[in-house]
Every structure is written in structure tokens, then in C-alpha cells.
Amino acid sequence: MVSKWFIFGLISLHLMGCAGGNEMCKASIGHGWACPPTWYQWGRKCYKAMITEPMTWFEAKEECIKMGSVLVVPLSQEETDFLMLLVPESSSIWINCNDLEKEGTWKCQDGTDEVELRTWPTKGRQPSNSGGDEHCAEIRPNGIWNDNQCTRKRPAICIHPAPQLHEEATVFVGCQQDMDTLQ
């Protein structure tokens, strides 16, 4: 009995019991999580890096909403490190944190909940509200947060939960003798 795994689109197929020839083979469709094309997956989340045309914080937030997602807020240092891999080395990125309602009261939202993690620098005076108009948060290339003018143009990253693939099922597919291709 031959058993092989194939990735077919967003679905993994496990072929079982192909003796060869052009017979039908039993395949199980696995379950898990998968992101749409052009999105990056990390854990059970999908990330869309918008780096070709930098935008204001407001534009970035709106673009994410149009895609059924929200502007990212990292929940761990590991997630921050992953995000910084998605953008050019020297780029800061917008995140979904601001003090627009009340100066000095920063609100960060991941779409449903306010998040507690905030990685402002331990030395220095950030958030500084320099010039009296820095109300939106960005992550600098070193992974540290900074407040900046919301009208500055920056790359951004959107996030949404990775869609779960359907439950495991058994299907029959055609296979060739060498089982390198599906028909």
C-alpha cells in the first residue's frame, strides 16, 4: 500500500491504497487553517502586508476593514518579530493603537478586545506627543513602539483569524502509476 501527502490548493490530500495504473485512489482531506493567497500565516492568524503604497494611519485602518480584517496589534514579542519580517528592513509600520480620544490614554484594539501588551521603549520619553499631534502608534524597525502623526505615510499590516478548513472527509481521486500527479 502506497501512502503520500499532496498539497492541492489550500487542501492537503493524503492518498492511500494506490496500487498503480489509472485507478481511483482514496484520499482524506485534512483539516486545519489556511490563509488566502497573498496573505501570510503565523499560527492561526493571517497577515496582509501593505508595503507598496504607504498610507496614513486612517487609510491603513480603512483598507484593513475593506478586506474584512483589522490593523494589526502584536500580542507578543514573537509576533512583533514575525511582523518585522514582512516589511522592508528600514520601515516602521502602523499598528491599531491611538490616543485620539484622550491625550495620553492609549487604546489598542485587535478587532474585539483591548490588548494589554505595549512595548514602548524603557528608556526615553515615548510616547512623547512631540509637536502636540502624535496620536497614532507605529512599530519602528527595531520592534519598539513610537507615537507619530497619524497623517504620516507608513506601510501597514492587516490581520484576521485564519479560516478553518472543513472537517476531515474521504474523497476519491484519480492517480497515475507514479502518483506524482493528481487527475
Superfamily of domain 40-161: Mannose-Binding Protein A, subunit A (3.10.100.10)
Contact indicator for 164, 32 with CB cutoff of 8 Å: yes
Helix (H, G, I), strand (E, B) or coil at 46: strand
In 3D, which of 90, 105, 113 has the Cα closest to residue 137?
A: 105
Residues 6+ apart with CB under 8 A from 119: 74, 77, 80, 143, 144, 145
C-alpha cell at 158: 492587516
The ranges of the chain annotated as CATH 3.10.100.10 are 40-161
Backbone angles phi, psi at 80, to 5 degrees: -60, -45
pTM: 0.69
> Per-residue pLDDT averaged across 118-137, rounded?
80
C-alpha cell at 141: 524597525
CA dihedral 165, 167, 172, 174 (to 10 degrees): 20
> Per-residue pLDDT averaged across 15-27, rounded?
51
CA 6 – CA 121 distance, rounded (Å):
46
Place of cell 487553517: 33
Contact indicator for 12, 5 with CB cutoff of 8 Å: yes
C-alpha cell at 134: 502624535
How many angstroms separate the most distant Cα atoms in the chain? 74
Q: For 51-110, what is each residue's pLDDT tens digit? A: 999 999 999 999 999 999 999 999 888 999 999 999 988 899 999 999 999 998 888 886
Kindly state the DSSP code that residue 134 receives in the 8-state scheme. Answer: -
C-alpha cell at 80: 512583533
pLDDT band, residue 130 (cuts 50/70/90): confident
Place of cell 496614513: 56
Average model confidence (pLDDT) across the chain: 77
| Length of the chain, in residues | 183
What is the rounded end-to-end Cα distance, in angstroms, of the chain? 19
